[in-house]
Amino acid sequence: MALNTLPISGPSKAMSMSGGGYSRKSPIIFDRNCKKPSSESSIMFHMVEQLSHLDPSGQARMVDVSAKPDTRRFAVAGGEVRMLPATLALIQAGAMKKGDVLTVAQLAGVMGAKRTADLIPLCHPLPLTQVEVQLELDSDLPGVRITAVARTVGKTGVEMEALTAVSVAALTIYDMAKAVEKTMCIQNIRLLEKHGGRSGDVINEREI
């Protein structure tokens, strides 16, 4: 049961799949075992035969995307910070000495997404058109659930930007609350869905 939700619009199935010029190809959907639905006769993990970040000699490289057209893309990532109920109650009450945990973590997630190419060596710098970070206090976890959405019009996807937003938001929550609890657990950071681009749509329905 959620105790409190930051008033930010989060991702939704309607937002994910409707309009906006995104790919209308059927999305690749993975179940809890990272497999396609059992109705499919063959299991395929949506990957190329060779890792694109390795050259023929096995050396790391940044992929040349100059020939690819600019398309509209977005990605959704999620994660959690699990903590003691008493720590969660202090966050909800705004009683942490460092200040408003949720607001600071939200802003940190947005800032982190914008610095993804500085943090991940082979990521391309992307002109992000939007980053949203949603934080929800969940007493059943107990802890904070994080969802981030990143959008761009470009030659490559924004999965890493969405994942970085979640990661930095989670680390900020830890930093803001570590004086009270140092045993908090950052967990289940994962891509939830991505849309647009040559590889099409992917929806991750794996249960954690």
- Type of residue at 177: A
- Rounded Cα–Cα distance for residues 65 and 49 (Å): 18
The residue written with tokens 């391309």 in the block is 124
Q: Among residues 31, 70, 140, 175, which one is catalytic?
A: 175
Measured over the CA atoms of residue 191, residue 197, residue 199 and residue 205, the dihedral's sign is positive
Answer for the pair 159, 88: CB distance below 8 angstroms, yes or no.
Answer: no
Strands (E), the chain: 2-5, 28-30, 71-82, 128-138, 143-154, 185-195, 202-204
Residue showing tokens 């190329």: 48
**Phi-psi map region of 49: left, alpha, beta (phi>0 left; psi -120 to 50 alpha):** alpha
201 is catalytic: no
Active site residues: 175
